[in-house]
Amino acid sequence: MSTDGASSPSRLLPRLLGVLLLIMGLALLAGGVKLSMLGGSLYYLLAGIGLTLTGVLLLATRRAALGLYALVLFASTVWALWEVGLDWWQLVPRLALLFALGLVMLLPWFRRPLLRGQPAPLGTGALSVAVVLAGAAALASQFTTPGEMVKKGQLDRDAVPGMANAAPAQADGDWNAYGRSAFGDRYSPLAQITPANAHKLVPAWTFRTGDIPGAGDPGETTAENTPLKVNGMLYVCTPHSQVIALDPDTGKEIWRFDPKISSQGAENFKGWAHMTCRGVSYHDDAAYASEQSPTGSASPAAAPTACPKRIFVPTADTRLIALNADTGKMCEDFGDKGQIDLRANIGSFAPGGYYSTSPPAVTKNLVVIGGHVTDNVSTDEPSGVIRAFDVHTGKLVWNWDSGNPDDTTPLAEGQTYTRNSPNMWSMFAVDEKLGMLYLPMGNQMPDQYGGDRTDESEKYASGLTALDIDSGHVKWSFQFTHHDLWDMDVGGQPSLIDVKTEAGVKQAVMASTKQGSIYVLDRATGQPVVPIHEVAVPQGAVAGDRTSPTQPKSELNFMPPPLKERDMWGVTPFDQMLCRIDFKSMRYDGPFTPPSLQGSIVYPGNFGVFDWGGISVDPVRQIAFVNPSYMAFKSKLIPAAEIAKQGPRVSETEGVQPNKGAPYGVILEALLSPLGLPCQAPAWGYVAAVDLTNHQTIWMHKNGTVRDSSPIPIPLTMGVPSLGGTFTTAGGVAFLSGTLDQYLRAYDVKNGKQLWEGRLPAGAQTTPMTYTGKDGKQYVLVMAGGHGSLGTKQGDYVMAFKLPD
């Protein structure tokens, strides 16, 4: 009796799988050959051979396919465990697909046409063992965290004896500056919300600004605003520089000011690198009039003005505007009927090429402002000058130009500040008692080529500079990246805090950086409070350029270990293999690998371990609460003559950067797989706390899910990057909203436990804040408007949360 007719249809499944394995095998074989030629792992070449032969055997419906596949799966499991141990996310691309196909091959109706009624205990048994081993490895990996920079710990105190909040005084329930105070500490003395009740937080109100990205806006239109709460109102600014005053209890609009920004002669705003407003600044004559002088006598009251309380807002069309904080009307005694044209003495620039994205510093007598200059366009861009204006009249008092640092006398009409000098686009910190302004400085452009720079021109680049408030003269400076070729500008607002050390209490300034070091300096002298060491770094710049032999590294740092080929990741073996090929194709010698024509990996990338969100500090508990991110980027230098042949410039941090006037342009990209996922294995984002008395990390946990950044909205806690800052409270709760998923989260500062999360209607790549309403309740406020470059959902929401009544 013939069974061929009955069995032929059942051979379809093995043959279909045979075709699939043949295709998989040939793909791995081709990629494996290329990877091995680059000096990479031989696994993909060998696995490709094994899968190809298995596919051929399945097409021939040979039982030997079971044993051969068992060998491939077993060897893959051993190799995976050898490379990455019991790391679940690293095991997924190595074993998940092979494990699933092994289960299919064990199904009786799959094996029946292969065995043809004859026993095959060796092949079936071997495959069963291989499947069980792979499954056991996957199961065991659920209980371990190798490859993640996690640390469990517990802070054992609520306060350090003798330590108090030394920031300038304000009402406990207010938030009167971007970083809550001029110290940039982002610490609130409010304590209604505690680890015991934070889980009860509920929405209090939602306000929509009406300012959402339009067709004529740049891709990086972002809602990065941290509102102020002062003068009985909330003050919000929107991406298009509108200022809105809200009732803090209800979110009801009180007044709105629209500067009606111009496109500076351009058709639209698409040429702007950013369309954002991180914040506004507040000045109150009465608050300064009531202050006590160092001798105990009251400071003389300021002369009466039409605007005794002022809101200062920088606009995207290069103006600085003063508003009456009570009414929203322009203060006509300031500048030209309420505004200053910041284009004065700057020289030419493309529309959108120069303006301030960050709030100015405000002191008793001055409003001080820097400016953002679009990166990597040319070597002839506007100056990074810092200008101080009279807070009442708008008269220019002094200007500090790092290209002419010794002369702070205001320039005469018709003169121009030094072109292409390093700029300061972030937020100042201010210590009025010491009489100092602290400037987190950017690097001299272009970012990836420095052959034309001099020691003098980049003396103040990529570091922290302290200026005398009254004169603008340099008090001290400290450089964090020498001859910066990686866009390691200092993005975060410095935090001023008194730190308890073995040598006594030190008045310190803390600066978080993209490379991961947190530098702690004496804010009066600039000398290190936490030791800083010069460490050797890779050499070998492109022709015409040079590299610094060493770079400064703080003993307090969140620098990641160098990447290795095995750190490359993917969802499948195929995109992981392509990431490994990409990795091995480029130059990478560790941190500070110089840019190259070959293409270099930049890790940490210019997204930064810490960027403009900075850090928050608790001066009473003596801790810092931080949110480090880890994303690799790649840069490839392109000879100037070939720039025109390349693709378009997507933004100042992505795509072709022309660097007109330099011998090289550059292509910048995140290190991503063909599926658009990071090539490096997770986790990519964490929250952590640091004990400032000993510089040790207390705890560190991965943070954030892929709910809003994966095709399937599953809230898997992989640890995702965050952009934005944190704040801490006397109640022992810290808050963060900047992750790629749409949540505002609360954490116990003692152990990092997530206490609560509130779902948001859009991304919130900003820094939240807290205040007390007129009803006596503590509120937590966040702006949820999304971030164009990061691809988070955009909107126009301002949301407040509080404990239920």
**Exposure of 706 by Cβ count < 10 A (0-12 exposed, 13-18 middle, 19+ buried)?**
buried
Q: Of 122-136, 202-216, 470-484, 645-659, where does mean pLDDT reach its minimum?
A: 645-659
C-alpha to C-alpha distance for 270 and 216, rounded to whole angstroms: 6
C-alpha to C-alpha distance for 209 and 784, rounded to whole angstroms: 11
The residue annotated as part of the active site, out of 487, 575, 611, 796, is 487
The two three-digit tokens of residue 171, written as one number = 């009402």
**Exposure of 558 by Cβ count < 10 A (0-12 exposed, 13-18 middle, 19+ buried)?**
buried
Around Cβ 635, how many Cβ atoms within 10 Å? 25
pLDDT of 292 over the 50 cut: no
Q: Of 67-76, 133-142, 282-291, 478-487, where does mean pLDDT reach its minimum?
A: 282-291
- What is the separation of C-alpha 83 from the centre of its chain, rounded to a whole number of angstroms? 29
Average pLDDT estimate for 567-594: 97
Phi first, then psi, for residue 438 (nearest 5°) are: -115, 125
The two three-digit tokens of residue 379, written as one number = 């070597």
What pLDDT, on a 0 to 100 scale, did the predictor assign at position 358? 97
Single-letter code of the amino acid located at 625: F
Nearest to 224 by CA among 755, 608, 739, 784: 784
Residue showing tokens 């003396």: 459
| Banded pLDDT at 191 (limits 50, 70, 90) | very high
pLDDT of 187 over the 90 cut: yes
Around Cβ 133, how many Cβ atoms within 10 Å? 17
Around Cβ 354, how many Cβ atoms within 10 Å? 23
Contact present, 695 and 662 (Cβ < 8 Å) = no
C-alpha to C-alpha distance for 33 and 395, rounded to whole angstroms: 68
C-alpha to C-alpha distance for 520 and 529, rounded to whole angstroms: 5
The two three-digit tokens of residue 645, written as one number = 């042949």
For the chain, give the percent of residues with pLDDT over 90: 87
Contact present, 149 and 97 (Cβ < 8 Å) = no
**Structural element, H or E, at residue 32:** helix 12-37
**Structural element, H or E, at residue 667:** strand 664-670
Residue showing tokens 């800083």: 532
C-alpha to C-alpha distance for 231 and 250, rounded to whole angstroms: 16
Integer CA distances (angstroms), 414 to 344, 345, 463, 795, in order: 8, 6, 31, 42
| Banded pLDDT at 294 (limits 50, 70, 90) | very low
- Known catalytic residue at 487: yes
Average pLDDT estimate for 258-281: 95
Around Cβ 632, how many Cβ atoms within 10 Å? 23
For the chain, give the percent of residues with pLDDT over 70: 96
What pLDDT, on a 0 to 100 scale, did the predictor assign at position 8? 53
What pLDDT, on a 0 to 100 scale, did the predictor assign at position 329? 98
pLDDT, tens digit (0-9, with 9 covering 90-100), for 172-182: 999 999 999 99
Phi first, then psi, for residue 354 (nearest 5°) are: -155, 120
C-alpha to C-alpha distance for 351 and 585, rounded to whole angstroms: 38
Q: Of 341-355, 624-638, 646-660, where does mean pLDDT reach its minimum?
A: 646-660
Q: Which of 109-113, 297-301, 638-642, 768-772 has the highest mean pLDDT?
A: 768-772
For residue 245, is it left (φ>0), alpha (ψ between -120 and 50) or beta?
beta
Tell me the CA end-to-end span of the chain in Å, nearest whole number.
Answer: 83
The two three-digit tokens of residue 694, written as one number = 């000993």
What pLDDT, on a 0 to 100 scale, did the predictor assign at position 263? 95
pLDDT, tens digit (0-9, with 9 covering 90-100), for 222-234: 999 999 999 999 9
Average pLDDT estimate for 739-753: 97
What pLDDT, on a 0 to 100 scale, did the predictor assign at position 4? 44
| Banded pLDDT at 303 (limits 50, 70, 90) | low
What pLDDT, on a 0 to 100 scale, did the predictor assign at position 304? 55
Around Cβ 174, how many Cβ atoms within 10 Å? 19
Average pLDDT estimate for 309-320: 98
Integer CA distances (angstroms), 314 to 238, 246, 493, 728, in order: 11, 19, 17, 27
C-alpha to C-alpha distance for 188 and 601, rounded to whole angstroms: 40
Phi first, then psi, for residue 18 (nearest 5°) are: -60, -45
| Banded pLDDT at 82 (limits 50, 70, 90) | very high
H helices of 85-217, in order, are: 88-91, 97-106, 108-115, 121-140
pLDDT of 122 over the 90 cut: no
| Banded pLDDT at 3 (limits 50, 70, 90) | very low
C-alpha to C-alpha distance for 259 and 256, rounded to whole angstroms: 10
pLDDT, tens digit (0-9, with 9 covering 90-100), for 60-73: 989 899 999 999 99
Higher pLDDT, 257 or 647: 257
Nearest to 480 by CA among 451, 453, 506, 460: 460
C-alpha to C-alpha distance for 619 and 162, rounded to whole angstroms: 10
C-alpha to C-alpha distance for 233 and 251, rounded to whole angstroms: 10
What pLDDT, on a 0 to 100 scale, did the predictor assign at position 649? 75
What pLDDT, on a 0 to 100 scale, did the predictor assign at position 6? 40
Adjacent-strand bridge partners of 90 = none
Q: In what order do the strands lie in the sheet with 463-468?
A: 429-431, 436-440, 463-468, 474-479
pLDDT of 300 over the 60 cut: no
Q: Of 4-18, 244-258, 520-534, 787-801, where does mean pLDDT reach its minimum?
A: 4-18
Around Cβ 470, how many Cβ atoms within 10 Å? 13
What pLDDT, on a 0 to 100 scale, did the predictor assign at position 94? 97
C-alpha to C-alpha distance for 649 and 669, rounded to whole angstroms: 11
Average pLDDT estimate for 80-97: 95
pLDDT, tens digit (0-9, with 9 covering 90-100), for 201-219: 999 999 999 999 999 999 9
What pLDDT, on a 0 to 100 scale, did the predictor assign at position 628? 98
Mean pLDDT of the chain: 94
Contact present, 240 and 268 (Cβ < 8 Å) = no
Contact present, 458 and 447 (Cβ < 8 Å) = no
Single-letter code of the amino acid located at 113: P
What predicted TM-score, i.e. pTM, was given to this entire model?
0.95
Average pLDDT estimate for 93-102: 96
What pLDDT, on a 0 to 100 scale, did the predictor assign at position 204? 98
Nearest to 694 by CA among 160, 201, 243: 160
Average pLDDT estimate for 421-427: 96
| Banded pLDDT at 289 (limits 50, 70, 90) | confident
What pLDDT, on a 0 to 100 scale, did the predictor assign at position 117? 65
Characterize 520-530 residue by residue with b for buried, 16 or more Cβ atoms within 10 angstroms of its Cβ, and e for exposed: bbebbebebbb
Q: DSSP characters for 724-758?
A: S-EEEETTSEEEE--BSSSEEEEEETTT--EEEEE
| Banded pLDDT at 119 (limits 50, 70, 90) | low
Domains of the chain, residue spans: 4-143
What pLDDT, on a 0 to 100 scale, did the predictor assign at position 299? 37
For residue 604, is it left (φ>0), alpha (ψ between -120 and 50) or beta?
beta
C-alpha to C-alpha distance for 589 and 592, rounded to whole angstroms: 8
pLDDT, tens digit (0-9, with 9 covering 90-100), for 240-250: 999 999 999 99
What pLDDT, on a 0 to 100 scale, did the predictor assign at position 716? 85
Single-letter code of the amino acid located at 574: F
